[in-house]
C-alpha cells in the first residue's frame, strides 16, 4: 500500500459518516417530467427518502449472522453491503413494480431489490481487488479486501452473489412462481458472460489497448453497468404484473438510462473529487482507461448522456403519471454529483 493510499484510508475512516446513506446523498431535485400530457410535479427527494429507509432495513436483515461460525463472513458481507451507496438499483426495482401493481408493490419487489444491491456490491468488492482495479477506497470507506484480506473479500462477494438468488426464491411473497423464476433467470444472466463478468473481461482486455472504439466501449458498459439496471426495472415490472410488451418498454428505458449512468460515471471521474465520489477520482485517466470522455470529449459526453435520457423517457410515455418516479430517477442519473 502506498503512503498516499494509507493517507486516503485514514482520512476516509474519519470521514466515513459523511458518506453514510442519508437523504443528502441525493441532490435536491424537484423535477417536472417533460412528457406534455403527463407533466407532473414530482419531488424525487421525498420519494427517495421514503424508499431508502426500508431498503436499508431489508439489506441489514438479509446479512445477519444466525450462528457464531458465520459471524466473520457475514460481517464482511455486511461491511460492504451497508457501507452506503445510492441504492439506485433497488429504488428502480420498487418504482417499476409500483408502476404496475395496484397494491403491495414494495413488499413484492423488496426481496429482488435486496438481491440487486447484493449483486452490485459483490461486483464492487471484486472490481476493487488487487487483481482487478486494485482500489483501496469505495463508498467513502476502505475496500473490503483492505479490512478483511483478499481471501475473505473474494468469499464475501461470492456469498453475496449466491445469497441474492436464495433471497429472491425464499422471500418473495404474493407473486406467482413463474414470475419469480423469470426474475431469478434474468438476475443470473446479468452476472454471467452476457453481463457483469463478460463486460469486466472485455474491459480488462481493452485496458491500455490503443484502438478501442466507441462500439467496444458501448459493449463493455452495456454489460458492466446497463444490464443490471435493466434487470432492476424489468424485474420490478414483472413482479408488478406487467405484460411482455410493457416489460419490453421498461427494458428499452432501462438500457438507455443504464448507458447514460456509465457516461455520467466517466464524466464524474474527471469533474468530481474523491470526497464527493467516495472512491478514487481521476482513476480513469491515471490508468489510461478508454472512457466516453476520452473518446468524445467532456461536452459531447454530456450531450450524449442527456440524449440517452430523453430517449429513455419517451419509452415510458404509455404509462402516464404512474411513470413519474422512474422519469425523475432518469433525470437524476445524469444530474447526480456522485
Tell me if residue 283 falls in helix, strand or coil.
Answer: helix
Binding mask 86-115 vs ligand GRG (x if CB under 6 A, - otherwise)? x-x---------------------------
User: How many residues bind to ligand GRG according to rule CB under 6 A?
Assistant: 18
CB of 204 to ligand GRG, least distance (A): 9
**How many Å apart are CA 226 and CA 190, to the nearest integer?**
9
Return the residues of window 181-200 that contact ligand GRG according to CB under 6 A: 191, 196-197, 200
Is the Cβ of residue 265 or residue 331 nearer to ligand GRG in the bound state? 265
Among 91, 96, 97, 124, binds ligand GRG (CB under 6 A): 124
What is the C-alpha R_g of the chain? 19
Is the Cβ of residue 175 or residue 233 nearer to ligand GRG in the bound state? 233
Question: Among residues 137, 135, 129, which one has the least CA distance to residue 15?
Answer: 137
Instruction: Output the nine-digit C-alpha cell for 61.
Output: 436483515
Binding of ligand GRG by 293 (CB under 6 A) = no
CB of 157 to ligand GRG, least distance (A): 6
Instruction: Output the nine-digit C-alpha cell for 275.
Output: 470526497
Is the Cβ of residue 251 or residue 269 nearer to ligand GRG in the bound state? 269
Binding of ligand GRG by 123 (CB under 6 A) = yes
Is the Cβ of residue 101 or residue 281 nearer to ligand GRG in the bound state? 281
Binding of ligand GRG by 258 (CB under 6 A) = no
The three-state DSSP-derived secondary structure of 139-177 is CCEECHHHHHHHHHHHHHHHHHHHHHHHHHHHHCCCCCH
68: buried, middle or exposed (CB in 10 Å: 19+, 13-18, 0-12)? exposed
Is the Cβ of residue 201 or residue 295 nearer to ligand GRG in the bound state? 201
Size (the chain), residues = 338
Binding mask 33-52 vs ligand GRG (x if CB under 6 A, - otherwise)? --------------------
Count, in order, helices (H) and strands (E) of the chain: 16, 4
Is the Cβ of residue 108 or residue 141 nearer to ligand GRG in the bound state? 141
Among 33, 106, 163, 262, binds ligand GRG (CB under 6 A): 262
Rounded to the nearest 5 percent, the helix, strand and coil shares of the chain are 75, 5, 25
CA dihedral 58, 62, 65, 66 (to 10 degrees): 100
Among 108, 224, 289, 313, binds ligand GRG (CB under 6 A): 224
Stretch of 7-15, 105-113, 122-130, 172-180 lying at the interface with ligand GRG (CB under 6 A): 122-130
**How many Å apart are CA 276 and CA 14, to the nearest integer?**
15
CB of 317 to ligand GRG, least distance (A): 26
CB of 145 to ligand GRG, least distance (A): 12
CB of 303 to ligand GRG, least distance (A): 20
Instruction: Output the nine-digit C-alpha cell for 205.
Output: 482486455
**How many Å apart are CA 144 and CA 21, to the nearest integer?**
18
Q: Which contiguous run of DSSP H or E holds residue 43?
A: strand 41-43
Tell me if residue 243 falls in helix, strand or coil.
Answer: coil
Site residues (CB under 6 A) for ligand GRG? 85-86, 88, 120, 123-124, 126-127, 132, 139, 191, 196-197, 200, 224-225, 262, 265
Amino acid at each position: 500500500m502506498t503512503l498516499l493510499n494509507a493517507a486516503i484510508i485514514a482520512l476516509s475512516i474519519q470521514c466515513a459518516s459523511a458518506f453514510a446513506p442519508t437523504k443528502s446523498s441525493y441532490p435536491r431535485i424537484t423535477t417536472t417530467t417533460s412528457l406534455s400530457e403527463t407533466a407532473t410535479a414530482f419531488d424525487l427527494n421525498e420519494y427517495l427518502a421514503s424508499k431508502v429507509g426500508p431498503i436499508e432495513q431489508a439489506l441489514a436483515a438479509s446479512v445477519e449472522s444466525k450462528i457464531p461460525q458465520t459471524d466473520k463472513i457475514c460481517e464482511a458481507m455486511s461491511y460492504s453491503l451497508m457501507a452506503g451507496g445510492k441504492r439506485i438499483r433497488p429504488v428502480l426495482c420498487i418504482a417499476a413494480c409500483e408502476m404496475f401493481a395496484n397494491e403491495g408493490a414494495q413488499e413484492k419487489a423488496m426481496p429482488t431489490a435486496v438481491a440487486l444491491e447484493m449483486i452490485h456490491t459483490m461486483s464492487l468488492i471484486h472490481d476493487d481487488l488487487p487483481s482487478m482495479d486494485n482500489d483501496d477506497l469505495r463508498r467513502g470507506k476502505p475496500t473490503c479486501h483492505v479490512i478483511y484480506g483478499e481471501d475473505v473479500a473474494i468469499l464475501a462477494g461470492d456469498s453475496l452473489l449466491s445469497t441474492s438468488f436464495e433471497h429472491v426464491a425464499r422471500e418473495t411473497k404474493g407473486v406467482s412462481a413463474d414470475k419469480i423464476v423469470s426474475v431469478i433467470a434474468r438476475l443470473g444472466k446479468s452476472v454471467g458472460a452476457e453481463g457483469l463478468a463478460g463486460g469486466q473481461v472485455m474491459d480488462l482486455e481493452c485496458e491500455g489497448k490503443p484502438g478501442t472504439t466507441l462500439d467496444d466501449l458501448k459493449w463493455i458498459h452495456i454489460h458492466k453497468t446497463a444490464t443490471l439496471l435493466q434487470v432492476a426495472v424489468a424485474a420490478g415490472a414483472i413482479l408488478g404484473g406487467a405484460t411482455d410488451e410493457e416489460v419490453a418498454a421498461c427494458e428499452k428505458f432501462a438500457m438507455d438510462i443504464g448507458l447514460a449512468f456509465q457516461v455520467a460515471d466517466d464524466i464524474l471521474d474527471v469533474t468530481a473529487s474523491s470526497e464527493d465520489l467516495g472512491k478514487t477520482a481521476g482513476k480513469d485517466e491515471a490508468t489510461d482507461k478508454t472512457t466516453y470522455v476520452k473518446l468524445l470529449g467532456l461536452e459531447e459526453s454530456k450531450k450524449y448522456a442527456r440524449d440517452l435520457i430523453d430517449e429513455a423517457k419517451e419509452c415510458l410515455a404509455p404509462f402516464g403519471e404512474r411513470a413519474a418516479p422512474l422519469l425523475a430517477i432518469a433525470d437524476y442519473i445524469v444530474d447526480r454529483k456522485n
